[in-house]
Amino acid sequence: MVAQIVKIRYLPTVSETDALLLEAEVVRLLQPKYNSELKDNKSYPKVKITKEKNPRVLIVRNEKPDGSKYFGPYPDGQKIRWILRSLRKIFPFFTEIHKPGEICFRGHLGLCPCLSTSKVDTRSIIRILSGGRVKLITDLEVRMKRHAKLQNYEEAQKIKHKLDLLSNLGVPAHQPWEYETNPNLVAEKNSQRVKNLCDLLSLKFKDDFRIEGYDISHLSGSNVVASMVVFTNGVKDTNKYRRFKIKADKNDDFAAIFETVSRRQHHDWTEPDLGLIDGGVEQVRAATRAANYNFIGLAKREETVILNDLTKLELPKNTDALKLLQEIRDESHRFAQSYHKKLRSKKMLQ
């Protein structure tokens, strides 16, 4: 077989899921000589979309000349079943024939369109099974922005929900046996997230990479507090969490951040390799004035990253690096809010 190779061509994919779908589609179209197992209808499952008024999406072994669309075969039957279960939450589809007006249990769960008057979105399902998930996400983002511009916010929110689910479709859950064969699976995954973030921010990666997250919490300038959470190599290090009661009760987040970072640097704690501020340009400017650490900000509305030099960086929504920053930001917000509520409750009882 190697002696017959004339040219090698490869296609990078966003995820392993996309690679699985693309491989099956290419084998189906090209029928390559040496992929004999994938061409054996009895060995691997296929996805069948029936040609009916209400098309059904099924997993079958054999292909019949009945006008239905077939995708596959898929070498990993468990994974294609997982993909279909995930797809059904985004684009509900039928798996059985319904009598007129019949409502099934899955319909009440939002997994079957028997409760809806709209048609099954088989076109989107076909695009995903044909390896076009990334292009579909792009098209949905355009539609979402168009509806938002026209102030059709409910429709825009529905599309956003689909986008969130589609983005997670490329990250299948790990199976139990994977943890048994590799006990360090979680640690390696977290370490890889930090490494990806370092690459994007042009930072030097190390095994004990320390990220500190800061947030301010108050109620109209009263009971102002700040939080500092610590993630070491992508994992929560709760023993190193710290909280600050801001000396001046006033509605000034910038001054509160400046005070928090100033007080933090006077302790003999390990210096952070990266500091994450919950906020935008002004919050990052206040932090960099207080200490000579490498600070970045994460603005909530657009999830834009504000770099240390106050320039902006847009990260793809489904990247591990952005998800890590969001996790740290949300944890610092939770920790600050819990301290603020504690002080507020204590004051009410006095």
According to the model, what pLDDT value does residue 176 have?
A: 45
Which tokens sit at 163? 């986008």
pLDDT value at 348 more than 60: yes
Query: Within this chain, do residues 197 and 333 fall inside the same structural domain, yes or no?
Result: yes
- CA 273 from centre of chain: 24
**What is the spatial distance between Cα 304 and Cα 314, in angstroms, rounded to a whole number?**
5
Of the candidates 325, 331, 328, the one whose C-alpha atom is nearest the C-alpha of residue 313 is 325
Over residues 136-154, the mean pLDDT reads: 89
Total domains in the chain come to: 2
Query: Within this chain, do residues 123 and 221 fall inside the same structural domain, yes or no?
Result: no
Over residues 162-175, the mean pLDDT reads: 67
Which tokens sit at 312? 């902006």
Tell whether 194 is covered by a domain.
yes
pLDDT digits (tens, 9 = 90+) for 230-255: 999 999 999 999 999 998 778 899 99
CA count, 13 A, side-chain hemisphere, 196: 17
> How would you list the strands of the sheet with 46-49, edge to edge?
57-60, 46-49, 69-71
Pairing of strands 274-277, 210-219: parallel
Tell whether 183 is covered by a domain.
no
Tell whether 306 is covered by a domain.
yes
Query: Within this chain, do residues 224 and 120 fall inside the same structural domain, yes or no?
Result: no
Tell whether 258 is covered by a domain.
yes
Of the candidates 255, 306, 315, the one whose C-alpha atom is nearest the C-alpha of residue 284 is 306
Over residues 111-120, the mean pLDDT reads: 82
Containing structural domain, residue 28: 12-132
pTM of the predicted model as reported, rounded to 2 decimal places: 0.57
Which tokens sit at 19? 């690679």
**What is the spatial distance between Cα 156 and Cα 143, in angstroms, rounded to a whole number?**
8
pLDDT digits (tens, 9 = 90+) for 243-300: 999 987 788 999 999 999 999 999 999 999 999 999 999 999 999 999 999 999 998 7
Tell whether 168 is covered by a domain.
no
- Which of 91, 110, 132 is at the close of a domain? 132
Query: Within this chain, do residues 217 and 88 fall inside the same structural domain, yes or no?
Result: no
- Which of 114, 132, 150 is at the close of a domain? 132
CATH number at residue 297: 3.30.420.340
- Give the dihedral sign, CA 12/93/60/63: negative
Element spanning 236, H or E: strand 235-236
Which tokens sit at 102? 């019949």
By the 10 Å C-beta count (0-12 exposed, 13-18 middle, 19+ buried), 199 is classed as exposed
**What is the spatial distance between Cα 322 and Cα 315, in angstroms, rounded to a whole number?**
6
pLDDT digits (tens, 9 = 90+) for 128-144: 887 777 788 888 889 99
